Amino acid sequence: MPRIKLLVKKFSYRQLKEVCNDENWKIPTLADVREKEIDSEPFWIKDLPESQDQLTHSLAYNPKVGNIMLVNKNNLMSSVVLVEEVFCKWKSDGEFNTYKTSCGNVFQLTEGSLDDNKIIFCCYCGRTIDEEK
């Protein structure tokens, strides 16, 4: 399931499409962001009414008031993208509190579990941990 990522830099619609192609991200649709709590200025969304000129304008969504606006594609706007979550699988040996990671490493806790120690991300590859029980 993809997660929403707020980008720091502002982009024109064309620039955002290029970045999304390079990074394998997706520009969200209105359905992707409508019910989410996103603390952002208005940002680009992918939906376009068929009656609008798709060459010069695209839609932006303002999450603070929940409305959609038509914006010139050359304007620099905040950007939100959909990122496909990639996990690092950690498997416990069960005996010595040691975990083998899918990125090829071994990690040992001195006490407690991953949850007890609030470990969410792999310290080797940076991906979100998916603990195999």
Q: Who's near 57: CB < 8 A, 6+ residues apart?
A: 70, 71, 72, 73
What pLDDT is stored for residue 82 in this prediction? 93
Domain boundaries, given as residue ranges, for the chain = 2-84, 87-132
pLDDT per residue over 109-127, tens digit each? 998 889 999 999 999 998 8
pLDDT at 49 over 80: no
Alpha-carbon distance 17 to 10, whole Å?
Answer: 12
Looking at the domain 2-84, which fold is it? Mannose-Binding Protein A; Chain A (3.10.100)
The sign of the CA dihedral 44, 50, 51, 54 is: positive
